Structure 1
Amino acid sequence: MSIQTREPMVRLTWTDPVTGIHGYLVVHSLIAGLATGGTRMRAGCTIGEVEDLARGMAVKSAVFNLPVGGAKAGIDCDPKDPRAFEVLTRFCTAMRPWLDDHWVTAEDLGVPQHLIDEVFAQIGLEQSYHAAISRSTDSQRTLRRVHAGLNAPVPGGLLGDVIGGYGVAQASLAVINAWEKPLERTTVAVQGVGTMGGAAAWYLHDAGAKVVALADAAGTLFHPEGLDVPTLLDTRDEYGEIDRAALPEDVRTLPREAVLATEVDVLIPAAISYAITPDNVAQVRAGAIVEAANVGTTPEAEAVLTERGVPVIPDFVANAGAAAWAWWLLLGQVGAEPADSFSKLRSEMLTKVAYLMQAWLADGTAPRTTAFELAETNAAERAQDSEPVLIP
């Protein structure tokens, strides 16, 4: 049975005994007893959403040939709610049987890495990769390597915070490379300026692309000649919103949804799932979509875009950098030196997206179709490999 059609192994619904808020854990698959996937928090989160994301994590792991299955958790709570931290703590406490031995989690929408690590420290598990670290031949050495990698300072922030967005930037650059278009004449719009979208915008700006539109919860910022991305990101508050009082006079402020209708070469939905839908796909004027958000485009909307000749680089490739890097870090394939991490992720992402774009430009095969085929091939090969995965 393929990854796409396989039923999840586990669906759990949790009710917070204090607030009545619901949380969900879906384990799509285990490899050697392990699954990986972040924990998100947003008002309106559903178990159906979490199930889609868990399946996406399984595919993501297969595309990058990681020795782990897929899972995801979500809590139906606004992360700005003053009760959010206590709710997250009680959820993780309730999920201890999975977190102790089987489920490796990390940041996701509404839950930054430092916050979930704070929760893990509070419940006595030290770090959110605990289930994998505890299997290490030297758990303290592995824990030190993980901490050093996550907290290594790099341009734009800490390595653990920006690596996923850096991968999205490399996926975008691979699309631009396939077009053979000069980078300085390439325009980009990014919906969302959290750790993923913000880092993607930062590294694309740093590479020389024109990031002409950035959107946060308060609206879209636009400049046709390109925004000063690092300066704008430096004004973000704790919820990832850019300070409007600090905007240059020549930056236009537009409605939040305007970012999706901006005429650009590359549009990066990096905020919410299902951002591009049948209701708004007609407004999209981008040459390509690079999904930084999980399930950023609905299947119906993607079919419309494909018919129009707009390739969609799927989330389970474009935003897989953080998950892949975390496992490279756990396995000792990279360490605390950021240059090694950037080099490995750049090479992996450029190669994979170039492969997808080659099929797209050759005969119009949708990037998602090619990526699914790659995932299934890798999964079949791994299923035949009986060697245990050793974490040094």
Structure 2
Amino acid sequence: MTMTDGPRLTVVPTPAPGPRPVPLPRVRPAAPTRRRPAPEHELRWTDPVTGAQGFLVVDTLVGGLATGGTRMRAGCTVSEVADLARGMSTKTAVFGLPVGGAKGGIDFDPKDPRATGVLERFCVAMRPWLDRHWVTAEDLGVPQHLIDDVFLRLGLNQSFHAAIGRSPDPERTLRRVQDGLAARTADGLLVGEVIGGYGVAQACLGVVTALAQHPAATTVAIQGIGTMGGGAAWYLHHAGVRVVAVADAAGTLYRRTGLDVPALLELRDRYGEIDRSRVPDDVEQLPRDAVLELAVDILVPAAISYAVRAENVAGVRAKVLVEAANSATTPEAETALVARGVPVVPDFVANAGAAAWAWWLLQGQVGTDPDEAFDRLAEEMRPKVARLVAAWRADRVAPRQTAYDMADANRQALAGAEITIP
């Protein structure tokens, strides 16, 4: 598999020397936690056929709309869905998107042959929300093509249905959205499949800018080489950053001078693991969790939630964490990292690329040209992350707090706004 690299991957120049850094205070505040109001709506559902439990949590509505994917996994809980819905609310607010946050979840094994039927019955039960208020999409255990198939059978055309219905010409808007979702990069990959990883790479480059480093002098370790982690590794490699380690389920691959990321990604099997029998001899093969303990500039947890937690946080030696996976660090672990002087760029900023692109597409702000979408995301993501890290370096304000402040300011600006879909 290959991914395109174009003008948007221009190497970031080394920033000119600036004023002397502000001396750091001796006492470093813990990572911020904030009490959020209860979600605006919480629905629970029981499948009449299998007994599976399903949940829809609408954390916030902006102009009557909320967006967030639908996941399916055995053990999914309403509290998990509520946490993810809150994250979506913050993610859309940080990027100034005129939509609130929501999430759907079903406690069922997605590999069970009955899973599609469970998903379809869940969507039928949530039809009033899908008709008017909730824009959903793929998530853990629910690929986009499955969501699209279910929507077609229900006569809803596309999972953007609730927003498209607000257009003065829904058929024209639907065609525009479908064309955008079908857009491919120069080497044939769907933009929607790679733009999330591209956004994470841009978040890392925002860190590079704030640290006043050159990409070639910056080392990155990435946990996870799926859609998000693999895409981030690819785009960072082509931006000149030294990706020195990647990890999959089989372990960590490490090379101090930098990995040949494109060659390694070509060795992935259908389960997303790299064929170890074909890995070059000069690449060290380490245990899976070793990726979290390498002395690198940036660590990108892109595999699972809560990868960095109280019991392993002491081993983290990166200078900065960039969360690509949702909730990649626990609150306790983030508090410990911040106390040690390690800032964490939160997931609701770093992994927002796909959500932002989808909404720009819906509103006609980007079209079918991949470069247009990538350039817009780079222009939005890189300065935001640079601002988070700059506030940390100057005043030791945790990036999460600065991001919350950005989200709150955007929410106030959007309050009472009328949402238009062209």
TM range (shorter): over 0.9
Cα deviation digits, residues 102-135 of structure 1 (max 9, x gap): 1111222333333322332333322211111121
Closer/same/farther in 2, CA of residues 12 and 248 from structure 1, 3 Å limit: farther
Using the TM superposition, give the Cα deviation of residue 319 of structure 1 relative to its aligned residue in structure 2, in angstroms.
Answer: 1.0
Of 147, 157, 160, which residue of structure 2 is paired with 1:126? 157
Which residue of structure 2 aligns with residue 389 of structure 1? 419
Which residue of structure 2 aligns with residue 40 of structure 1? 71
Cα deviation digits, residues 160-187 of structure 1 (max 9, x gap): 1111111111011000111122211222
CA distance in structure 1 between the partners assigned to 2:248 and 2:119 by the alignment = 24
Using the TM superposition, give the Cα deviation of residue 382 of structure 1 relative to its aligned residue in structure 2, in angstroms.
Answer: 1.4
Closer/same/farther in 2, CA of residues 4 and 119 from structure 1, 3 Å limit: farther
Of 401, 412, 418, which residue of structure 2 is paired with 1:369? 401
Closer/same/farther in 2, CA of residues 289 and 55 from structure 1, 3 Å limit: same
SS in 2 for 1:368: helix
Closer/same/farther in 2, CA of residues 244 and 134 from structure 1, 3 Å limit: farther
Q: Is residue 32–residue 68 contact of structure 1 (8 Å, CA) maintained in 2? A: yes
Which residue of structure 2 aligns with residue 69 of structure 1? 100
1:322-341 to 2 correspondences below 5 Å = 322-341=354-373
Q: What are structure 2's unaligned runs of at least 5 residues? A: 1-32
CA distance in structure 2 between the partners assigned to 1:313 and 1:343 by the alignment = 21
Q: Which amino acid is the alignment partner of residue 249 of structure 2?
A: A
Using the TM superposition, give the Cα deviation of residue 3 of structure 1 relative to its aligned residue in structure 2, in angstroms.
Answer: 8.9
Q: Which amino acid is the alignment partner of residue 207 of structure 2?
A: V
CA distance in structure 2 between the partners assigned to 1:232 and 1:94 by the alignment = 44
CA distance in structure 2 between the partners assigned to 1:128 and 1:245 by the alignment = 42
Which residue of structure 2 aligns with residue 257 of structure 1? 289
Percent sequence identity is: 65
CA distance in structure 1 between the partners assigned to 2:171 and 2:257 by the alignment = 49
Using the TM superposition, give the Cα deviation of residue 285 of structure 1 relative to its aligned residue in structure 2, in angstroms.
Answer: 1.3
Using the TM superposition, give the Cα deviation of residue 230 of structure 1 relative to its aligned residue in structure 2, in angstroms.
Answer: 2.4
Q: Is residue 3–residue 376 contact of structure 1 (8 Å, CA) maintained in 2? A: no
Cα deviation digits, residues 281-332 of structure 1 (max 9, x gap): 1111111111111111111111111111111011111111111111111111
Cα deviation digits, residues 326-380 of structure 1 (max 9, x gap): 1111111111111111111101111111111111110111000111011111111
Q: Is residue 99–residue 130 contact of structure 1 (8 Å, CA) maintained in 2? A: yes
Q: Is residue 192–residue 270 contact of structure 1 (8 Å, CA) maintained in 2? A: yes
Cα deviation digits, residues 74-122 of structure 1 (max 9, x gap): 2334444444434333332332221121111122233333332233233
Of 70, 79, 91, which residue of structure 2 is paired with 1:60? 91
Comparing 15-24 and 357-366, the one that deviates more: 15-24
CA distance in structure 2 between the partners assigned to 1:65 and 1:47 by the alignment = 27
Which residue of structure 1 aligns with residue 174 of structure 2? 143
Between the two proteins, the alignment pairs up a number of residues equal to 389
1:223-234 to 2 correspondences below 5 Å = 223-234=255-266
Which residue of structure 2 aligns with residue 169 of structure 1? 201
CA distance in structure 1 between the partners assigned to 2:407 and 2:38 by the alignment = 17
Which residue of structure 2 aligns with residue 304 of structure 1? 336
Q: Which amino acid is the alignment partner of residue 328 of structure 1?
A: W
TM-score normalised according to structure 2 size: 0.86
SS in 1 for 2:306: coil
Which residue of structure 1 aligns with residue 122 of structure 2? 91
Using the TM superposition, give the Cα deviation of residue 221 of structure 1 relative to its aligned residue in structure 2, in angstroms.
Answer: 2.7
Which residue of structure 1 aligns with residue 211 of structure 2? 179
1:271 and 2:303 matched: yes
Q: Which has the larger radius of gyration?
A: 2
Q: Is residue 3–residue 55 contact of structure 1 (8 Å, CA) maintained in 2? A: no
Comparing 229-238 and 272-281, the one that deviates more: 229-238
CA distance in structure 2 between the partners assigned to 1:238 and 1:146 by the alignment = 29
CA distance in structure 2 between the partners assigned to 1:250 and 1:355 by the alignment = 38
Using the TM superposition, give the Cα deviation of residue 234 of structure 1 relative to its aligned residue in structure 2, in angstroms.
Answer: 3.4
SS in 2 for 1:276: coil
Q: Which amino acid is the alignment partner of residue 64 of structure 2?
A: G
1:282 and 2:282 matched: no
Which residue of structure 1 aligns with residue 20 of structure 2? none
Q: Is residue 210–residue 387 contact of structure 2 (8 Å, CA) maintained in 1? A: no
Of 139, 146, 151, which residue of structure 2 is paired with 1:108? 139
Closer/same/farther in 2, CA of residues 283 and 89 from structure 1, 3 Å limit: farther
CA distance in structure 2 between the partners assigned to 1:280 and 1:41 by the alignment = 28
Q: Is residue 44–residue 76 contact of structure 1 (8 Å, CA) maintained in 2? A: yes
Comparing 13-22 and 47-56, the one that deviates more: 13-22
Closer/same/farther in 2, CA of residues 152 and 107 from structure 1, 3 Å limit: same
Comparing 36-45 and 59-68, the one that deviates more: 36-45
SS in 2 for 1:154: coil
